[in-house]
Structure 1
Amino acid sequence: MRQTTMTKPSEVVREWYVVDGTDKTLGRLATEVATVLRGKHKPTFTPNVDAGDYVIVINADKIKVTGDQEFKKFYYNYSGYAGGVRKRSTRVMRESYTVEWVERAIHGMIPHTKLGDKQRKHLFVYTGAEHPHAAQQPKELVVKG
């Protein structure tokens, strides 16, 4: 008889990965990063345990989008007050709010629960090629196209 192995939080071994966003498509990069943050790339994946790894995204300002998303896709925020809707295009987000733009794409692919909140804190996004996490010796995570 086979037995399903359930990972315990004390048994989790975390690693650090760095992703270079140069000439990568936002959606493809976000799905790969979200998979690593959740821990779904590990054979010991358990849905109710935070077994994900840490991910550093560098060169976020060089990430691209395809098609007409630059002008036709919009990001909305609502303050809760009348007239409190803020609407920004993809172009504005990419140029002025790069870190928020990438984080929103990745955060949307992680469960919106308490566990997801913990997993979201393992993401670090930087616009340039430099990051302060060299001491963790991150491995390179290869993302297609």
Structure 2
Amino acid sequence: MNNRTHSATRDEALEGRKWWLVDATDLTVGRAASQIAKILKGKHKPNYTPSMDVGDFVVIVNAEKARFTGNKEDDKVFFTHTMHPGGEKLTPMKKLRERHPEDIMLNAVRRMLPRSALGRDMMRKLKVYAGEKHPHAAQKPEALKLSL
């Protein structure tokens, strides 16, 4: 019996890639982001290898209709810093939703992935759109129902 752990090769990682379509209407942002991050990493596949990008592509539509629990819509503030003295920027959730509604879901997923070159490769497979339309119909993405 073979008791060795199988590590996926580059060819194995690339051959089984699928496209998934997620409708974010009425989904809780954090719960949806954790499952999407799992798909981008490839943890749902039997050939998952932590040091390789074996995940699938994910297209998120209706990101503007995703919701938060509790009072996060009013209280949550996004923090960034320009790395200059006094360069902190605090952006309230409501303002971010008005200007760039897709960034809310994009940031939630990005922060659940590794902070490395591997995580950046995984993020390239995530496509987020505020509305219903997306330019990835040629890839024939399968609808994915997230279990929340």
| TM bucket normalised to smaller | over 0.9
Q: CA RMSD in A?
A: 1.0
**Paired position in structure 1 for 2:135:** 132
Amino acid in the other structure paired with 1:66: T
Percent identity reads: 37
Deviation at 1:10, TM superposition (A): 1.1
Verify: 1:59 aligned to 2:62, yes or no: yes
Which of 19, 22, 25 is residue 22 of structure 1 equivalent to?
A: 25
Instruction: Describe the superposition over 1:76-115 as per-residue Cα deviations: whole angstroms up to 9, x where unpaired.
Output: 1101112211101122222222122111100000000111
CA contact (8 A) 1:61 1:98 kept: yes
Size of the alignment, in residue pairs? Answer: 145
SS at 2:109 equivalent: helix
Q: CA separation in 1, counterparts of 2:45 and 2:127? A: 20
Unaligned runs of 5+ in 2: none
Moved more, 21-30 or 93-102: 93-102
Which of 120, 123, 126 is residue 123 of structure 1 equivalent to?
A: 126
**Paired position in structure 1 for 2:5:** 4
Q: CA separation in 2, counterparts of 1:11 and 1:140? A: 24
What is the 5 A alignment of 1:99-110?
99-110=102-113
Unaligned runs of 5+ in 1: none
Moved more, 27-36 or 82-91: 82-91
